Amino acid sequence: MNRFDGKVALVSGGARGMGEADVRGLVAEGARVVIGDVLDHEGETLAKELGDSAVFVHLDVADPGSWDAAVAKAEEVFGTVTVLVNNAGIVLFGAVDQISIEDFDRTIAVNLRGVFLGTHAVAPGMKAAGGGAIVNISSTAGLMGYAGIAPYVASKWGVRGLTKASALDLGPTIRVNSIHPGPIATPMTAGLDDTMVAAQRIPRWGRPEEVTAAVLFLAGDESSFMTGAELAVDGGAVLGSIAPVS
């Protein structure tokens, strides 16, 4: 028996990158999955490939109405959402004294407000169904600072805190945990060089499916005694320097 037989999942940012890997992993384990994304062509193509186990819905995670429509679509096609993966995210580059206010606000809207709105949208149904699991995709930028991406860092620290507060508010019925990926080879990181990973204890780029393995664990019954936890999938990026002390 597959781990997610009978479960309905909603994955934001599910059309490509880590989200696509999550969608594929959930379907492979028996879930029926709603792919939410602003990338209509990619999302529709993926849903068509996966057949009756998946459906695509246009989802702007910063818009409450868009979340309501996504949840309604899930209920119409598959039933109550019992797994939510808050994966959608953006990163905009610029020093804190140079990046625009508009770029800061947009990053917070997608990366943090989107997680809140997703949680807010699925929680009533999960409670009525007797339980559910929410997996929030934060980042190593939610565990440490990075130069040049202050809005992203702020948003991902926010996701970390929101996860813990949500776990307290929604438990024991709904479990809420966060994953903190390090450098993962996705379209969002395309063009970045290998200096990002050279100092890690495992000095390579991570693969989306390595994050998906953590998503499946936290969304499934194997982690039934975990809530409010944070799981780094980062090649040891947050461990500290491997350079010898002089």
| Residues forming the active site | 152
Residue pair 137/111 in contact (Cβ under 8 Å)? The answer is no
- For residue 113, what are the β-bridge partners? none
DSSP type of residue 30: T
Residue pair 163/136 in contact (Cβ under 8 Å)? The answer is yes
Q: For residues 138-165, b (16+ Cβ closer than 10 Å) or e, as one string?
A: bbbbbbeeeeebbbbbbbbbbbbebbbe
Indicate if the alpha-carbon torsion angle 92, 193, 146, 11 is positive or negative.
Answer: positive
Q: Let me know if 130 is exposed, middle or buried by CB neighbors in 10 A (0-12, 13-18, 19+).
A: exposed
155 token code pair: 């948003």
Residue closest to 111 by CA, chosen among 150, 158, 79: 158
